[in-house]
């Protein structure tokens, strides 16, 4: 018998989950190294479907981080209260602290994470935002806590000519501190503000891999649109968000334990549906660092 060729080592099964985006991928075991051909194949599947669901991945944090490295450099998050003390590349999307104790809903971490209940794309407030993220369902909720994703290529394509004209060549401001004005959170200190100054990002971006145009907004961080009054800026962001939330563009993921979801932050937004804060929800995220500034389309 001849040895299997590199390309045939992993047999992937891909099942589309929604007409707009999302695919379930079977045939991957994240605890094992990935051969180069499979890594390339996954990258292509990811670019095609935007959000991949890998069921049944009983991974340690270290294995999760190692798998992330096939797609780029894992980010170490700037806030100590969010990142894991054990594995620094892990961003804890969790209402349970690392000693296993449930946090009260008014805990600053729970408050900050609750803003993920509004549409956003991760780290758009950085000059170089992240490429994507991988989220591992360690303890999943049953009272809600579903994660929704919207396809921002399709959203852009669906905009009226009038809206396209309003955003073409325009930038929106993305401010990490803006998020803190919306929850019951302490405003950023002057030092924190200086470390994370607001950035202006194009509202229509060109995806560096696919070359396609996508709407690029992140409503929890957007506090201004170039050349518009605060009221008009807010109205425009609200209107664009309403279109992005149309069910025809949205896949909703109901979590099972040990699902790992991988999404592209350059062409999607996401949000989590509300859940009972007395229910434990422990999700571990790695974040793939971006390499370049956002390209205007
Ligand atoms: C995130 C996020 C949503 C969720 O990890 O970036 O927004 O379902 N999570 O927890
Ligand atoms: Mn997020």
Q: pLDDT digit string (tens) for 7-39?
A: 445 689 999 999 999 999 999 999 999 999 999
- Residue-wise pLDDT for 125-162, tens only, equals 999 999 999 999 999 999 999 999 999 999 999 999 99
pLDDT, residue 133, reads 98
pLDDT, residue 187, reads 83
Residue to mutate, 150, 259, 269, 272, ligand 1, most ligand atoms under 8 Å from C-beta:
272
Name the percent of the chain lying above pLDDT 70.
97
Average pLDDT along the chain: 94
- Residue-wise pLDDT for 255-291, tens only, equals 999 999 999 999 999 999 999 999 999 999 999 999 9
Strand-pairing partners, residue 83, are 91
Number of neighbouring beta carbons within 10 Å of residue 257: 14
pLDDT, residue 10, reads 65
Is CATH 3.40.50.2300 what the domain over 71-288 is classified as, yes or no?
Answer: no
- Residue 221 tokens read as 């961080």
Distance CA 271, CA 118 (A): 5
Residue closest to 83 by CA, chosen among 61, 63, 115: 61
Domain boundaries in the chain?
Answer: 71-288
Q: Is the pTM of this model over 0.85?
A: yes
**Averaged pLDDT for residues 103-114:** 92
Q: With a cut of 80, say whether residue 223 has pLDDT above it.
A: yes
**Averaged pLDDT for residues 187-207:** 91
Q: Is the CB of 237 under 6 A from ligand 1?
A: no
**Averaged pLDDT for residues 90-119:** 95
- Residue-wise pLDDT for 60-90, tens only, equals 999 999 999 999 999 999 999 899 999 999 9
Q: Is the CB of 93 under 6 A from ligand 1?
A: yes
**How much distance in Å is there from the Cα of 296 to the middle of ligand 2?**
22
pLDDT, residue 9, reads 56
Q: With a cut of 70, say whether residue 4 has pLDDT above it.
A: no
**How much distance in Å is there from the Cα of 95 to the middle of ligand 1?**
12
């Amino acid at each position: 018998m001849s040895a299997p060729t590199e390309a045939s080592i992993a047999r992937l099964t891909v099942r589309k989950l929604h007409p707009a985006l999302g695919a379930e991928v079977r045939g991957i075991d994240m605890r094992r190294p990935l051969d180069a051909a499979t890594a390339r194949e996954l990258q292509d599947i990811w670019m095609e479907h935007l959000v991949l669901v890998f069921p049944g991945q009983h991974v340690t944090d270290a294995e999760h981080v190692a798998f992330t490295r096939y797609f780029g450099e894992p980010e170490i998050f700037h806030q100590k209260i969010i990142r894991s003390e054990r594995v620094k590349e892990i961003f804890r999307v969790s209402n349970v602290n690392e000693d296993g104790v449930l946090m009260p809903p008014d805990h600053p971490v729970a408050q900050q994470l609750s803003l993920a209940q509004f549409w956003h794309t991760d780290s758009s407030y950085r000059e170089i935002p992240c490429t994507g993220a991988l989220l591992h369902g360690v303890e999943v909720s049953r009272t809600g806590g579903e994660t929704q994703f919207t396809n921002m290529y399709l959203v852009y394509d669906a905009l009226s000519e009038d809206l396209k004209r309003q955003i073409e060549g325009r930038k929106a401001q993305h401010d990490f501190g803006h998020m803190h004005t919306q929850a019951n959170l302490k405003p950023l200190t002057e030092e924190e503000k200086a470390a994370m100054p607001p950035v202006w990002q194009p509202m229509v971006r060109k995806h560096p891999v696919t070359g396609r145009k996508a709407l690029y907004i992140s409503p929890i961080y957007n506090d201004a649109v170039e050349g518009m009054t605060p009221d008009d800026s807010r109205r425009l962001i609200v209107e664009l968000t309403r279109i992005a939330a149309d069910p025809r563009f949205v896949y909703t993921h109901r979590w099972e334990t040990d699902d790992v979801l991988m999404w592209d932050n350059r062409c999607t937004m996401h949000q989590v549906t509300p859940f009972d804060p007395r229910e434990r929800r422990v999700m571990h995220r790695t974040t793939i660092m971006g390499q370049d500034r956002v390209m205007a389309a």
